[in-house]
Amino acid sequence: MTGLPVTVGIIEDHPVVVDGVTTWINADPGQRAVVVGSGADVDEVLAGPAGAADVLLLDLHLGETVVVDRVAELCTAGRRVVVYSGMDDPDTILAVLEAGASAFLSKHEAGGHCVDTIVAVATDRPYVTPSVAGALLSEAPHLSAQERTALLLWFQSMSKASVARRMGLSEATVRQYIDRARVKYAKLGRPAPTKTALLARAIEDGLIRADEIREYRSHAAE
């Protein structure tokens, strides 16, 4: 950071939104950012003072055009892009992040997130907004209660036969539950071919807590 405020270009076709974001930025107690240009057309904004802005705040829906494809182009050109959009479904959020956007900010989120996100992006620091956190969590597979229980007992070092006895099921059913979890991860593009990998995924996604493994270890010999 140079100590100077972060310069921001806003690409947005609704003047009321531009005014709102500008008000949030101007009201920031630290005066950490300043809007240097805005407009409803990507190329026109880049041709003006905002062409050299530290951060571009980009709406995905400009007029009748959805400009998701411009995200990769802008990012490849070395621009830091914060996508600011009401199109906040997980697929769209993950797509723009995959395209290189530094952050995604939903128009449903509070103004404080807007300024914090812009400043974080300008200094290449991560900032996970609530919408992004939700999108990332949506990548976790849904496990039924039985599937989760089978996984938990198996992770506690119980054999599949022991898990089956504990749950009052056949061993084949337990195998099916575990295989289903693997298939669900594979469908999400996050394969977990080994027991260790599957455990890591489950803990990473909050499906299993690490302390649960320790809590029930005493049953492992059953």
Give residue 5's Cα distance to chain centre.
27
| Rounded Cα gap, residues 74 and 196, in angstroms | 39
Q: Report the candidate in 128, 88, 115 with the shortest Cα–Cα distance to residue 96.
A: 88
Residues 60, 65, 66, 70, CA torsion sign: negative
| Rounded Cα gap, residues 5 and 142, in angstroms | 44
Average pLDDT, integer, range 162-174: 93
Pair 169, 127: CB distance under 8 Å: no
By the 10 Å C-beta count (0-12 exposed, 13-18 middle, 19+ buried), 73 is classed as middle
Tell me the per-residue pLDDT of 77-88, one tens digit each, with 9 for 90 and over: 989 999 999 888
* 213: pLDDT strictly greater than 90: no
Pair 13, 40: CB distance under 8 Å: yes
* 96: pLDDT strictly greater than 90: no
Q: How far is CA 97 from CA 21, 23, 71, 77, 143, in A?
A: 21, 26, 9, 15, 26
What percent of the chain is predicted at pLDDT more than 90?
A: 44
Q: What is the pLDDT of residue 17?
A: 93
The residue to which tokens 């630290």 are assigned = 30
In this structure, the number of other CB atoms found within 10 A of the CB of residue 148 comes to 16
Which residues, 6 or more positions from 168, have their beta carbon under 8 angstroms from its beta carbon?
A: none
Q: How confident is the model at residue 184 (pLDDT cuts 50, 70, 90)?
A: confident
Strand partners, 164: none
Average pLDDT, integer, range 186-204: 83
Which residues, 6 or more positions from 31, have their beta carbon under 8 angstroms from its beta carbon?
A: 5
Q: What is the pLDDT of residue 94?
A: 76
Q: What is the pLDDT of residue 1?
A: 53
**Which has the higher per-residue pLDDT, 94 or 72?**
72
Pair 36, 49: CB distance under 8 Å: yes
Tell me the per-residue pLDDT of 21-68, one tens digit each, with 9 for 90 and over: 999 999 999 999 999 999 999 999 999 999 999 999 999 999 888 888
* 222: pLDDT strictly greater than 60: no
| DSSP annotation of 62 | E
Average pLDDT, integer, range 104-114: 83
Average pLDDT along the chain = 86
Average pLDDT, integer, range 122-151: 79
DSSP 3-state of 32: coil
Which of 98-107, 119-128, 200-209 shows the lowest mean pLDDT across its residues? 119-128
| Rounded Cα gap, residues 148 and 189, in angstroms | 20
Which of 23-32, 173-182, 202-211, 213-222 shows the lowest mean pLDDT across its residues? 213-222
| Rounded Cα gap, residues 42 and 142, in angstroms | 39
| Rounded Cα gap, residues 222 and 218, in angstroms | 9
**Which has the higher per-residue pLDDT, 2 or 142?**
142
* 134: pLDDT strictly greater than 70: no
* 218: pLDDT strictly greater than 50: no
Q: What is the pLDDT of residue 126?
A: 66
